[in-house]
Amino acid sequence: MLGATSRRCWPADWWIGCEILTMGRIIRLHADDHLDIAELLPWYVTGRLETVELARVEAHLAGCAECRADVLFQRQLGAEIAALPTDIDQGWRSLRRRIEQESRPFGLIGSGLAWIRRSFGRVGRRAPGLGWALASVLVLAMSGAALVSTDRRPAYHALGATQPSPVGNVIVMFRPDTVEKSMRDMMTADRVRLVDGPTAAGAYILQAPADRRETILRKWRARSDILLAQPIDGPAP
Amino acid sequence: MAPGQGYADDSTNVIASSVADNDVRLLTRIAAGELSAFEALYRAYHPRLTRFLINLLRRPHLVDEALNDTLMVVWKRPQSYNGASKVSTWIFAIAYRKALKAMARRDEPLEDTYADQRISPDVDPEQDLERRQMQAILLSAMNQLSADHRAVLDLTYFHDADYREIAEIMGCPVGTVKTRMYHARRHLKEMLAGRLVDWL
């Protein structure tokens, strides 16, 4: 398309020939060793040319002050593309959690939450509140599924039974490397009882005092050794 | 640097070759389901992939997602590496495709939210102001480039990829890589307007 084409000529000491820029592509009008070499300079600077190319570039540089200056510029430019701060430990913990959740047969909760976080995070950025509302509905639905899946007790009791088994009202997933003593201390401190678990997904069904359940959940969610802490029998009384 | 002398020397090439061999060994162990091997590879590639993806995507939440998606492919399908290229080229090609998918889903305006963090924090206070101004100009100039142009710059200058490897990663002809690099360099040179030499 002619309208998108422009002819450009540079000074002779930079461009021996001319070129046409067409829709972002360079079309050479003359056999132009200078341009060929100029295109290779970035990888000359980084030492990533093959032997034959390296010899061509070196031969050209010996007689081309402009390309020598360009090499200097690129060397500095390359050195100054800044390093990025990264938190490798946090990243690895996150990915390891994903691997563990996806590798479990009952990994619905973990992978589902990750999906919710990714999907509704996008919705939430566009419509704050909507994303969290949708996510909350799904979390409650999944928690209900977890309850059904893990709390299937027989509908009858032995004649000698004096009281029914305790009913869980919280589902918790600890970090895989959490030691048993730490779990026991947490439960003792908040008078939380173990009802069932670990499930195939590594989750525990616990019974927290009904009047303190929300407080306990908030506190536990803030802990680094808790991956998930959700109510499983509806809102607190 | 004297004409005729690139960055790499023989010892650098030996190190690069050793790293490539180690990558293949790690991938073999990953194929056997060894999580510790995957962690080692993760730790080796996390900084490089993060940087590459940040330059492409410019959104931290997209970077995390694309990075994890990339490494999950390595964990789940190590056998899809066929040995035709370096392991690093294979992984970066996966990352590039994941980034393209993430960009296709993105409906937000481009903005480099990492820009402030990326201005080097460990410079001498005496040089701090001038250096930061220069880095800000450089970042601004890079922001004006397309994601593909930034990717070529980053893969060349930071990741030491040659143009053939870049072509393989980006799935395009080598001529396209050279053209993108040429335009990117020219743009940066115009934006920096001779300041870079005084800067260092």
The average pLDDT across A151-180 equals 62
What pLDDT, on a 0 to 100 scale, did the predictor assign at position A119? 53
- How would residue B196 be classed by pLDDT, with cut points 50, 70 and 90? low
- Measured CA to CA, the distance from residue B171 to residue B184 in angstroms comes to 19
Q: For chain A, what's the residue count?
A: 237
B182 touches chain A (CB under 8 A): yes
Read out DSSP for B108-150? S----TTHHHHS-TTS-HHHHHHHHHHHHHHHHHHHTS-HHHH
Structure confidence by residue, pLDDT tens digits, B159-188: 889 999 999 999 999 999 999 999 998 888
More confident position, A136 or A32 = A32
CA of B146 to nearest chain A CA: how many angstroms apart? 12
Predicted pLDDT of residue A172 = 80
pLDDT tens digits, B52-70: 888 788 776 788 889 989 9
Bridge partners of B149, per DSSP, are none
A26 and B CB contact within 8 Å: yes
Radius of gyration of chain A (CA): 32
Domains belonging to chain B, first-starting first, are 16-113 (1.10.1740.10), 123-200 (1.10.10.10)
CA dist., res. B121 & res. B133, Å (int): 13
Residues of B in contact with A121 (CB under 8 A): 61
Q: What is the pTM of this model?
A: 0.53
Choose the closest CB to A84 out of B51, B72, B157.
B51
Query: In sequence order, what are the residues at sequence separation of 6 or more whose Cβ sits closer than 8 angstroms to the Cβ of residue A8?
Result: A18, A19, A20, A21
Cα A56 to Cα A198, B3, B4, B45, B127: the distances in Å are 67, 12, 10, 34, 39
Backbone angles phi, psi at A165, to 5 degrees: -60, 150
Confidence tier at A180 by pLDDT (50, 70, 90): confident
Residues B12-37: pLDDT tens digits? Answer: 555 566 677 789 999 999 999 899 99
Angle (CA) B47 B52 B56, round 5°: 145
* Burial (0-12, 13-18, 19+ Cβ within 10 Å), B2: exposed
Place of tokens 């109510």: A231
pLDDT above 70 for A148:
no
Q: Judge contact between A54 and A37, C-beta under 8 A.
A: no
Digit-coded pLDDT (tens) for A36-90: 899 999 999 889 999 999 999 999 999 999 999 889 888 887 776 544 344 566 6
DSSP reduced 3-state for B151: helix
Between A42 and A13, residue with greater pLDDT: A42
pLDDT tens for B77-136 read 999 998 888 999 999 999 999 999 888 876 554 454 444 444 454 555 555 666 667 777
For A38, the closest chain B residue by CA position comes to B182
- Burial of A179 from C-beta contacts in 10 A (0-12 / 13-18 / 19+): exposed
